[in-house]
Amino acid sequence: MRKPAIILLTSLLTVSWTATVILARPGKRYDKRTEMCRLIDSGKLDWESDHWGIGAAKFKEVCKSCHNRNNDKGAPFLYMESYSSEGWNQVFAKRRKKCARDGSWDVLSQEELLLVNDYLYRNANDTYNPNDADSCG
Ligand code: HEC
């Protein structure tokens, strides 16, 4: 089971290193809707901090309830690395995806949506976390 994952990771890293610049984990996020600069590196480890806890938990509880691998709702599989940081910002700023327009996001408060956006922005496919054991080889 481990081998394919390692091969995939290696090829992903090769592609990323050659094709894009991997940014350090961002510490700030400009939010277009609220026109605020949000500080998103409160210095705590993700799993200890309430801030991250809520964003991660709400993504899992609400978004992933449809966007899981074998859903029967017609939702593409999504995880935090499905988009770049900017890509996630666009998804939340524009809110043009079908589920954002049809009320599926409405179980989340505006504040919770900001936290989900923060969480995804910080952990997107163009960010790199030197403290993450997964990235240490
Ligand atoms: C009730 C189910 C449901 C929930 C909850 C839901 N989505 Fe969706 N989402 C969908 C479906 C279905 C589509 C595909 C719509 C279409 O056919 O264009 C979609 C499409 C998307 C897309 C476009 C994906 C692509 O590859 O085209 C994004 C991004 C997205 N959703 C993000 C989110 C986020 C972020 C949340 C949580 C805040 C969320 N969704 C919650 C059902 C859901």
Least confident of 52-56, 118-122, 125-129: 125-129
Contacts of 18 (CB under 8 A, 6+ apart): none
Res 137: pLDDT: 40
Contact 45, 38 (CB under 8 A): no
- The two tokens of residue 104 are 């599926």
Res 132: pLDDT: 54
Res 114: pLDDT: 95
Question: Among 61, 67, 79, 108, which is best to mutate for testing ligand 1, by the most ligand atoms less than 8 A from CB?
Answer: 67
Res 133: pLDDT: 46
Map tokens 């449809």 to a residue.
66
Res 119: pLDDT: 92
Phi-psi region of 24 (alpha: psi -120 to 50; beta: other; left: phi over 0): beta
Res 27: pLDDT: 86
Asked whether 73 lines ligand 1 (CB < 6 A), one says: yes
Contacts of 131 (CB under 8 A, 6+ apart): 45
- The two tokens of residue 91 are 């998804």
Distance from C-alpha of 112 to C-alpha of 5, rounded to nearest angstrom: 32
Asked whether 91 lines ligand 1 (CB < 6 A), one says: yes
Least confident of 23-27, 54-58, 76-80, 113-117: 23-27
pLDDT above 80: residue 13: no
Asked whether 115 lines ligand 1 (CB < 6 A), one says: no
- Residue range 50-71: average pLDDT? 91
What value does the mean pLDDT of the chain take?
82
